[in-house]
Amino acid sequence: MDKATEAQGSDAVYWDPYRPDIGENPYPTFRRLREEAPLYYNQAYDFYALSRFADIETHLGDIETFSSARSDILEFIKEDIDIPKGMFIWEDPPLHTVYRNVVARVFTPKRMNDLENQIREYCARCLDPLVGAERIDFIADLGAKLPGGVIGMLLGIPDEERDVVRERVEAALRTETGKPMDVSQATYQGEGYEDYLDWRAKNPSDDLMTTLLGVEFKDETGTTRKLTREEVLIFVNVIAGAGNETTSRLIGWTGKILGDHPEQRRQIAADPGLIPAAIEEILRFEPPGPAVARYVTKDVEIRGQTVPAGSAILFLLASANRDEERFPDGDSFNVHREGPPHITFGRGIHSCLGSALARVEGRVALDEILKRFPDWTVDTQGAKLSSSSSTRGWDTMPAYTR
């Protein structure tokens, strides 16, 4: 494979993240990429892509060559925007190590699991009024509400402000159909949280925002200090953004996939012990974040070809999750699947810090849905895919419950 791949004729495989016709079902194209062009170059948008599990698992951990310091989203890398200090998910060591350790101290799996009862109560408040309805929408009725509610629980954001947070996050990730995301005016400073943060500083509580305001750590210079106001705002912005969009996508895919596989859904409803495995299989089968991007810091040889320094490269996690060499019959959904874990949450130091929370939310949401709606049929005509190049999921996912 080289830069002439796309010029080899009409039969050559073509993929880009902006084509709606490809995005509706990218998996046949991903299969062709794995078979024909495991290292792929897109000339139109000037990026490389890896599609096989083994390649992605190997190179995603090479942080010296594949840097996150210019974002993990393709458009941001191409725009070469100056990333502010404190945007820890888009930093490399030593800054990434320092900041991630701070967040990890307050964003622990135990703390996430301790939220389970609150998450369950929130699900009940969303779903109970719908019992007896002939139709529900997995996004409007739960997916658009639960993640913001949970992040609000964590950060101490009042209920009435959580929809505003969600709408801000969603708007930032939307794209015009067929075009890259416009990131030229992007900011990261925690817009919308300033007044509340100042209020919380004077009125501490048992929430993540208060903890971030008070935590002490040793920074990259060896100085022991607290986070600055600007750093806390960026942290809050990252946590709220990541926690809203992807979990909403997970809930939408839960409705779609289990609607498409009613026999397995009935097995789960009859045996709730299958719910954790079902969530893992949903995450493998339709990852909310189908790809992550990296900036190539130096020339690197992959599959006999040189990817030059300065390139942008996409790691196609959604393709890797269906790689037959790793997941036999990978294009089939199977809640009884055994074997190695998926790569939806990444690998290494940049693996998703919120994976434990996403799993808890997904597991509780599915449990509460099945208690009230053990059967449903997706309204495919009413379902609408979102227009976003960084996540993949649904704006609407209606279903008939009778």
Are 386 and 174 a contacting pair, CB within 8 Å? yes
The pLDDT assigned to 354 comes to: 84
pLDDT at site 353: 83
The structure's pTM equals: 0.91
Locate 177 and state its tokens: 């159909």
Provide DSSP, 52-64: -HHHHHHHHT-TT
Residue 25: left if φ>0, alpha if ψ -120 to 50, beta else—which one? beta
Identify the pLDDT of residue 169.
Answer: 59
> In the sheet where 292-296 sits, what is the strand order?
39-42, 47-50, 312-315, 292-296, 66-67
What pLDDT does residue 161 have? 66
Kindly list the structural domains of the chain, giving each domain's residue range(s) and its CATH number in brackets, ordered by start.
Answer: 5-400 (1.10.630.10)
Q: Which helix (H) or strand (E) holds 369?
A: helix 355-372
> What are 151-188's pLDDT values in tens digits?
888 887 766 666 666 566 555 555 556 666 666 555 55
Residue whose structure tokens are 């998450």: 119
What is residue 1's predicted lDDT score, i.e. its pLDDT? 40
pLDDT > 70: percent of the chain:
89
Q: Which segments in the chain show pLDDT lower than 70?
A: 1-10, 158-192
Q: What is the pLDDT of residue 321?
A: 98
**Contact yes or no for 312/293 (Cβ under 8 A):** yes
Q: Which residues lie across from 39 on neighbouring strands?
A: 50
Tokens representing 117?
């009862």
Token duo for residue 298:
């130096």
Tokens representing 57?
Answer: 């698992």
